Chains A and B, each alone.
Chain A
Amino acid sequence: MIELYAATKRFRSSGGVHTAIRDVHLSVGSGEFVAVVGPTGCGKSTTLSLISGLEPASDGRVLVHGRPVEGIPDGVGYMFQNDAVLPWRSVLDNVAAGPRYRGTSKREARDRARDWITRVGLAGFEGYYPHQLSGGMRKRVALAQTLVNEPSVLLMDEPFSALDVQTRGLMQDELLRLWSGSGAAVVFVTHDLEEALVLADRVVVMTAGPATIKSTFTVPLDRPRNAEEVRLTPEFLDIYREVWDSLREEVQITRERGTGNAA
């Protein structure tokens, strides 16, 4: 579904060339939920922009559905860290945007949007503008906006990091519920290890920048999971300890570097 071979991305910056990620090997099958964790600012998001085709890789190969990525591949959905809902459109027209862009008639696009608005629990808010909604509700709009296109590859860049803890737990549950059975391959980037373990089948730990993959862990927790309760089980704590041992060093390195120029 998603394959990266020795993918490397460099940016030209004021101080020369900055390598965001190097030699990343990763493959995600359909229906698989992979979380990528790493210290803040290490280049996790760059991985997503390579898969989405928003940025070309400097080196290595990136394949989606077995084809090299040139431009935005079919079936990709991407939820950004910051709100990307259109402030000048109502909830309904925000969610209908994807189908409209893809040439669906206004009527049908709105029907599909209404369906998804109900599924993310926002029925009754179709006519609201984003500024009238809470942060959690805006995330639901963004989620519906992404899912209405029925992506087979779902990329998520710390989508819930701006939410308070209770809302985040709720959204994690919603995400698992909506994703289950969809068969979509998910790459979920986060710096929150707990979130990664609650959601994913596999957790990939990245090194401090320039980021590459340090280790991969399989999460031995049964589905369906309840996001609030699963974190209290002994199995969860065991795997948490194991992954944290690996992640801790990288966080430490980033902290030491960052003391001069605080992130």
Chain B
Amino acid sequence: MPRNAKTAKSAATIERTADAVASPQASGDHGEAAAIARARTAGLRRALGINAVRIVLIAVWLGSWELAARHWIDPFYYSMPSKIWERLVGWFTDGTSQGSIWEQISVTLQEAVAGFALGAAGGVVLGIVLGRSRFLSDVCAPFIKAVNAIPRIILASLFIIWFGLGMQSKIATAFVLVFFAVFFNAFQGAREVDRNLVNNARILGAGRMQVLWTIVVPSATSWILASLHSAFGFAIIGAIVGEYTGADKGLGLLINHSQGVFDAAGIYAGMIIITVLALLAEWLLTLLEGRLLRWRPSVAGTDIQI
């Protein structure tokens, strides 16, 4: 609880200064309501302070980069923030070397989302089935370990040969990356189901399928959701690497092309777009998680301290 203690302390300091400056006569007579109001302002101020420091950090980082690129390092290799910004603006206004930027984004997103959906569905189903069947998991264990040991990125080359330069090969690459990430979590989640809960459900009259749907799946949900966060990142990696290996459209191709013409700013710009996409997906997943795991106790320390 050190974080808690710190929050309380900083809130207390802010309260005290606020008291001293703004309301010397307020102490005591307002009671509860005033204390709550003060705690709320303290919380707001704290959030404001955190964001201010973040903005300063970004400004310092970008400023020093820009300055260094203008005076000491070669912007041809390392590029600089103003050039990257120019490249981004150019892509969105005039289009890229491969055509409209929106088309590239949409292609990459479609590949990532399709690979993610298929991989997650496959991983969850197989993970839960193997997690619940001792026999099947014993049979499959060495194969799964072997397949998991393959550096899966290499499969992208194979998929290009199998499925061609179109979307399928990228979806396949994203699929294998997502599948294993989700599979192992679903497997573990299905395996670690509390025996007590299963026995209780059986006594209450549940059949095998009812145990699966009402006990195993909900128990494994928090494991699975945890893996989905990193899995979407993997899906994007899969799509980009697939495009990088060989494609006719997409952000990966754009980055590959930028590399081909020694355009460092283009690589950075592509990176920024991908990061924004990944953060948006992360945000959506967090929303989903919040909905599905409403029953969980809230994490300690998020309450405003009074």
Contact = CB atoms under 8 A, between A and B. Distances in A.
B295 interface: yes
B122 interface: no
B205 A101 contact: yes
Contacts of B200: 78, 80, 84, 145
Contacts of A129: 295
Interface in A52-97: 52, 54, 72, 76-78, 80, 82-84, 86-89, 97
B203 A131 contact: no
A226 interface: no
Contact of A101 (B199, B201, B295): B201
Nearest to A76: B203
Given A86-B215, A89-B295, A131-B295, A101 B206 contact: yes
Interface bin, chain B: 20 to 34
Contacts of A87: 295-296
Contacts of B204: 97-98, 101, 145-146, 149
A88 B201 CA distance: 14
Contact of B205 (A52, A84, A88, A98): A98
B201 A97 contact: yes
A102 interface: yes
Contacts of A132: 297
B54 interface: no
A101 B210 contact: yes
A72 B202 contact: yes
B199 A88 contact: no
A145 B218 CA distance: 19
14 contacts: A76-B203, A78-B199, A80-B200, A82-B196, A84-B200, A86-B197, A87-B295, A97-B204, A97-B214, A129-B295, A131-B296, A132-B297, A146-B204, A149-B204
Interface of A: 52, 54, 72, 76-78, 80, 82-84, 86-89, 97-98, 101-102, 129, 131-132, 145-146, 149
